């Protein structure tokens, strides 16, 4: 951050802050000059700084904001299976409603909460990318969602606008950004 500020010739102080989500969390060796606060206290901490006079002009602030936005990238976490010993057989397969967690069989909506099948399928594919790996094949999709055949998997993976790599038997799909068809809430 300091490098970016220096390149824009903006001189403002940077305060380090560690925000804890759980009260039982203990930071063994906190960095020097770093404040540690609970997540519930963050707004109060920020409000204390809002009482000071402006350090930079509105124009400089917008310049900094635009520069940050242009340099930002979306964070894609490493799948859990790459960090922890996790076997595919340990993960429940099939289609589960993300709202009520019921396993769904051959229906277009969840019988309990009426969540649509496409939302459940999208969530399941996202779960695959977060749990297992950053790619998915038709065969893996059939197994993970318990689909009837490779044609159903191919249809779904293409419908979700995943990026296909290679052709025919060696084809796999990569997550770019999943978008539920007809759902703009994501």
Asked if residue 41 has pLDDT above 50, the reply is yes
Res 124: pLDDT? 94
* 23/48 same-domain check: yes
* 101/136 same-domain check: yes
Asked if residue 182 has pLDDT above 60, the reply is no
Instruction: Establish if 186 belongs to a structural domain.
Output: no
* 88/136 same-domain check: yes
Instruction: Establish if 95 belongs to a structural domain.
Output: yes
Q: Are 161 and 179 in contact (CB under 8 A)?
A: yes
Q: How many domains does the chain have?
A: 2
Burial state string for 57-83 with b = 16 or more CB within 10 A and e = fewer than 16: eeebeeebeeeeeeeeeeeeeebebee
In the chain, count H helices and then E strands.
6, 7
Mean local confidence (pLDDT), 88-117: 91
Instruction: Establish if 182 belongs to a structural domain.
Output: no
* 84/168 same-domain check: yes
Q: Which two tokens stand for residue 154?
A: 């191919």
Range of the domain at 18: 2-71
Q: Are 81 and 133 in contact (CB under 8 A)?
A: yes
Res 179: pLDDT? 54
Res 130: pLDDT? 92
C-alpha distances (whole Å) from 75 to each of 8, 66, 89, 177 are: 24, 19, 28, 12
Instruction: Establish if 58 belongs to a structural domain.
Output: yes
| High-pLDDT (> 70) share of the chain, % | 95
Instruction: Establish if 179 belongs to a structural domain.
Output: no
Round to whole Å and give the CA distance between 165 and 3: 37
Q: Final residue of a domain: which of 19, 46, 71?
A: 71
Q: Residue 149 — pLDDT band, cuts 50, 70, 90?
A: very high
Instruction: Establish if 181 belongs to a structural domain.
Output: no
* 54/84 same-domain check: no
Asked if residue 76 has pLDDT above 80, the reply is no
Round to whole Å and give the CA distance between 67 and 1: 11
* 88/158 same-domain check: yes
Beta bridge partners of 103: 96
Round to whole Å and give the CA distance between 130 and 125: 9
């Amino acid at each position: 951050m300091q490098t970016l500020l220096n390149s824009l010739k903006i001189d403002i102080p940077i305060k380090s802050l560690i925000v804890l989500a759980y009260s039982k969390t203990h930071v063994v060796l906190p960095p020097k000059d770093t404040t540690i606060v609970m997540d519930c206290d963050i707004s109060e901490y920020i409000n204390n700084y809002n009482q000071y006079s402006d350090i930079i002009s509105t124009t400089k602030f917008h310049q900094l904001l635009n520069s940050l936005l242009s340099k930002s990238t979306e964070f894609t976490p490493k799948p859990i299976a790459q960090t922890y010993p996790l076997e595919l057989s340990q993960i429940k397969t099939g289609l589960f409603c993300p709202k009520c967690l019921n396993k769904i069989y051959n229906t277009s909506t969840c019988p309990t909460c009426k969540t649509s099948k496409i939302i459940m399928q999208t969530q399941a594919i996202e779960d695959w990318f977060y749990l297992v790996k950053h790619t998915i094949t038709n065969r893996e999709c059939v197994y993970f969602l318990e689909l009837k055949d490779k044609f159903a998997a191919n249809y779904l993976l293409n419908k979700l606008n995943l990026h296909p790599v290679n052709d025919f038997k060696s084809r796999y799909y990569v997550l770019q950004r999943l978008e539920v068809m007809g759902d703009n809430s994501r």
